[in-house]
Protein backbone atom coordinates (compact mmCIF):
# COMPACT_ATOMS: atom_id res chain seq x y z
CA UNK A 1 0.00 0.00 0.00
CA UNK A 2 2.76 2.40 0.89
CA UNK A 3 4.22 2.76 -2.54
CA UNK A 4 0.80 3.06 -4.15
CA UNK A 5 0.28 6.50 -2.65
CA UNK A 6 1.00 9.43 -4.85
CA UNK A 7 2.66 12.59 -3.67
CA UNK A 8 0.87 15.88 -3.52
CA UNK A 9 2.24 19.32 -3.26
CA UNK A 10 0.91 20.62 0.04
CA UNK A 11 3.21 20.91 3.03
CA UNK A 12 0.70 22.80 5.18
CA UNK A 13 -1.57 21.09 7.68
CA UNK A 14 -4.14 23.85 7.99
CA UNK A 15 -6.61 22.12 10.30
CA UNK A 16 -7.05 19.36 12.88
CA UNK A 17 -10.65 18.12 13.10
CA UNK A 18 -12.07 16.41 16.20
CA UNK A 19 -15.43 14.65 16.35
CA UNK A 20 -17.19 15.28 19.66
CA UNK A 21 -20.50 14.31 21.23
CA UNK A 22 -21.51 17.77 22.47
CA UNK A 23 -19.90 20.62 20.58
CA UNK A 24 -20.99 23.25 23.10
CA UNK A 25 -19.42 21.37 25.99
CA UNK A 26 -16.20 20.71 24.07
CA UNK A 27 -16.03 24.31 22.88
CA UNK A 28 -16.24 25.51 26.47
CA UNK A 29 -13.33 23.23 27.43
CA UNK A 30 -11.11 24.43 24.57
CA UNK A 31 -12.02 28.06 25.14
CA UNK A 32 -11.08 27.72 28.79
CA UNK A 33 -7.78 26.05 27.89
CA UNK A 34 -6.92 28.69 25.31
CA UNK A 35 -8.20 31.64 27.32
CA UNK A 36 -10.61 32.83 24.65
CA UNK A 37 -14.35 33.40 24.39
CA UNK A 38 -16.52 30.42 23.52
CA UNK A 39 -17.34 30.66 19.82
CA UNK A 40 -20.88 30.02 18.63
CA UNK A 41 -21.39 26.82 16.64
CA UNK A 42 -22.57 26.93 13.07
CA UNK A 43 -24.56 24.26 11.26
CA UNK A 44 -23.23 22.95 7.97
CA UNK A 45 -25.49 23.72 5.02
CA UNK A 46 -28.17 21.25 3.92
CA UNK A 47 -27.41 18.85 1.10
CA UNK A 48 -29.13 21.09 -1.45
CA UNK A 49 -26.47 23.71 -0.83
CA UNK A 50 -23.46 21.70 0.40
CA UNK A 51 -23.81 18.95 -2.24
CA UNK A 52 -22.53 16.53 0.40
CA UNK A 53 -21.77 13.02 -0.80
CA UNK A 54 -20.94 10.34 1.76
CA UNK A 55 -19.63 7.10 0.29
CA UNK A 56 -21.03 8.26 -3.03
CA UNK A 57 -24.58 8.83 -1.77
CA UNK A 58 -26.59 11.92 -0.91
CA UNK A 59 -27.29 12.22 2.80
CA UNK A 60 -29.03 14.43 5.30
CA UNK A 61 -25.95 14.20 7.51
CA UNK A 62 -24.81 17.58 8.79
CA UNK A 63 -22.67 18.85 11.66
CA UNK A 64 -22.51 21.55 14.28
CA UNK A 65 -19.06 23.13 13.88
CA UNK A 66 -16.88 25.27 16.13
CA UNK A 67 -13.52 26.50 14.87
CA UNK A 68 -10.67 27.87 16.96
CA UNK A 69 -8.17 29.74 14.82
CA UNK A 70 -4.68 29.37 16.29
CA UNK A 71 -1.45 30.90 15.00
CA UNK A 72 -0.56 28.22 12.50
CA UNK A 73 -3.74 26.15 11.99
CA UNK A 74 -7.32 25.79 13.14
CA UNK A 75 -8.91 23.30 15.50
CA UNK A 76 -12.33 22.19 14.27
CA UNK A 77 -14.84 20.62 16.67
CA UNK A 78 -17.54 18.60 14.91
CA UNK A 79 -20.77 17.26 16.38
CA UNK A 80 -22.57 15.05 13.83
CA UNK A 81 -26.31 15.56 13.44
CA UNK A 82 -29.07 14.69 11.04
CA UNK A 83 -28.00 11.54 9.24
CA UNK A 84 -25.13 9.39 7.97
CA UNK A 85 -21.73 11.00 7.51
CA UNK A 86 -18.09 10.21 8.15
CA UNK A 87 -18.47 12.25 11.34
CA UNK A 88 -21.37 10.12 12.60
CA UNK A 89 -19.59 6.91 11.61
CA UNK A 90 -16.44 7.97 13.47
CA UNK A 91 -18.36 8.84 16.64
CA UNK A 92 -20.27 5.56 16.55
CA UNK A 93 -17.25 3.38 15.93
CA UNK A 94 -14.44 5.19 17.76
CA UNK A 95 -16.01 7.75 20.05
CA UNK A 96 -14.56 11.22 20.45
CA UNK A 97 -11.15 11.91 18.97
CA UNK A 98 -9.14 13.34 16.09
CA UNK A 99 -11.14 12.62 12.94
CA UNK A 100 -8.91 14.20 10.31
CA UNK A 101 -5.91 16.30 9.50
CA UNK A 102 -6.44 18.73 6.65
CA UNK A 103 -3.99 19.77 3.98
CA UNK A 104 -4.58 22.98 2.06
CA UNK A 105 -4.56 22.09 -1.62
CA UNK A 106 -5.54 23.44 -5.01
CA UNK A 107 -7.39 21.61 -7.76
CA UNK A 108 -9.49 19.34 -5.55
CA UNK A 109 -11.01 17.26 -8.35
CA UNK A 110 -7.58 16.40 -9.72
CA UNK A 111 -6.24 15.65 -6.22
CA UNK A 112 -9.17 13.35 -5.45
CA UNK A 113 -8.77 11.50 -8.75
CA UNK A 114 -5.05 11.12 -8.26
CA UNK A 115 -5.39 9.74 -4.73
CA UNK A 116 -8.27 7.45 -5.67
CA UNK A 117 -6.25 6.04 -8.56
CA UNK A 118 -3.52 5.21 -6.08
CA UNK A 119 -5.75 3.34 -3.64
CA UNK A 120 -7.20 5.98 -1.33
CA UNK A 121 -10.98 6.06 -1.92
CA UNK A 122 -12.99 9.21 -1.57
CA UNK A 123 -14.97 8.99 1.67
CA UNK A 124 -16.99 12.20 1.72
CA UNK A 125 -16.98 15.53 -0.06
CA UNK A 126 -18.93 18.75 -0.05
CA UNK A 127 -18.97 22.49 -0.56
CA UNK A 128 -19.05 25.30 1.98
CA UNK A 129 -19.05 29.05 1.74
CA UNK A 130 -15.66 29.87 0.38
CA UNK A 131 -14.45 26.46 -0.63
CA UNK A 132 -14.68 22.71 -1.07
CA UNK A 133 -13.52 19.75 1.00
CA UNK A 134 -12.89 16.05 0.51
CA UNK A 135 -12.15 13.35 3.06
CA UNK A 136 -10.07 10.44 1.76
CA UNK A 137 -10.24 6.96 3.31
CA UNK A 138 -6.59 6.87 4.31
CA UNK A 139 -6.93 5.25 7.73
CA UNK A 140 -5.33 1.92 6.77
CA UNK A 141 -2.03 3.28 5.41
CA UNK A 142 -1.84 6.59 7.32
CA UNK A 143 -3.71 6.03 10.59
CA UNK A 144 -5.98 9.03 10.06
CA UNK A 145 -8.42 10.46 7.53
CA UNK A 146 -6.85 13.02 5.19
CA UNK A 147 -8.91 16.07 4.37
CA UNK A 148 -8.21 18.05 1.22
CA UNK A 149 -9.25 21.67 1.70
CA UNK A 150 -9.50 24.04 -1.23
CA UNK A 151 -10.45 27.56 -0.36
CA UNK A 152 -11.84 30.29 -2.51
CA UNK A 153 -11.06 33.10 -0.11
CA UNK A 154 -13.90 35.29 1.05
CA UNK A 155 -12.92 38.70 2.48
CA UNK A 156 -13.12 38.56 6.24
CA UNK A 157 -13.72 34.81 6.39
CA UNK A 158 -11.44 33.26 9.00
CA UNK A 159 -12.96 29.80 8.94
CA UNK A 160 -10.13 28.31 6.92
Alpha helices per DSSP H over the chain: 23-34, 47-50, 86-94, 108-117, 139-142
Considering the complex, state which of residue 99 and residue 132 has its C-beta at the smaller distance from a copy of itself.
Answer: 99
What's the rounded Cα separation, in Å, for the pair 59 and 88? 12
Which window, 29-37, 41-49, 58-66, 152-160, contacts a copy of itself (CB under 8 A)?
29-37
113 binds a copy of itself (CB under 8 A): no
Considering the complex, state which of residue 96 and residue 127 has its C-beta at the smaller distance from a copy of itself.
Answer: 96
CB 85 within 8 A of CB 62: yes
CB 130 within 8 A of CB 122: no
101 binds a copy of itself (CB under 8 A): yes
What's the rounded Cα separation, in Å, for the pair 44 and 79? 10
Least distance from a copy of itself to the Cβ atom of residue 149, Å: 14
Binding residue for a copy of itself (CB under 8 A) from 37, 71, 153, 158?
A: 71
Considering the complex, state which of residue 52 and residue 91 has its C-beta at the smaller distance from a copy of itself.
Answer: 91
CB 141 within 8 A of CB 1: yes
Which window, 41-49, 59-67, 137-145, 149-157, contacts a copy of itself (CB under 8 A)?
137-145
Amino acid sequence: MANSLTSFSSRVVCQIGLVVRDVEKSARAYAALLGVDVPAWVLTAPEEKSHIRYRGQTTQGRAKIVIFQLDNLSLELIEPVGGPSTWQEFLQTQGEGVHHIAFRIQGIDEQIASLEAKGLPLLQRGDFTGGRYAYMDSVAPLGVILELLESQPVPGDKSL
